[in-house]
Structure 1
Amino acid sequence: MENNANNQNQSQDNVNNILGTAASYFKNINLNQVPDQLKQFGTTAANKVKGLSTTQKVVGGALLLLGAGYLSRRSRMSFRNVAHMSREY
C-alpha cells in the first residue's frame, strides 16, 4: 500500500511539474503580439470543435494521440539509428 501511495504522489508531482512548466511558457506570451490571422484561426478552430459531438471529439483526440505517439516513436528510432551509426566509426 505504501508503494502505491508513493506512486500516486510521484504521479501528482509529475503533473504539477508539467503544469508549472506550461504555465511558465504561457506567462511569457503577450497576446498583443500575436498576429490577427492567428487569433482568427484560433477562434474559428475553437468554434468548429464546439460544434462536434462528444464522440467526434473523443475519436479526434484519440487519433491525435496515436499520431503523436507514432511520430515520437519514429523519431526515437531515428535517433537510435544515428547514435548506433556514430559508435561504429
Structure 2
Amino acid sequence: MNHNYFVYILTNKNKTVLYTGVTNDLAIRLRQHIEWVNKFAFTNKYNCHFLIYFERYQYIEHAIEREKEIKGWTRAKKNALIEIENKEWKFLNEDILNT
C-alpha cells in the first residue's frame, strides 16, 4: 500500500517567519491553515499560510523524523533547503490546491 505523508514549510506574506509541519494530506492541511481552523495556532498568529516547500514520504515515521530535524535547524539552513527547490520562494498554494 502506498501512503503519502508530507513535511512542509509555510511562511507569511513578507517571508519573515517560517513554520514547519507534517501531514498526510497537504491540500487539506493547507486549507486548514488558510481558513484559520485553530485561531490560537502559531500559523494564525504570524499569518503563515503560504506554502514554499514540501517533501513527500511513504512512512509517517520518516516524515516526523524529518520534521523534527528541520525544526532544529537555523534559519539560514532552512533558507538554503527551500532555495534548492524554490529559489524565488514562489508561493506554491495554487499548485497544491488546484491539483
- TM-score higher than 0.5: no
Bigger share in strand: 2
- The structure in which a higher percent of residues are helix is 1
TM-score scaled to structure 2, two decimals? 0.30
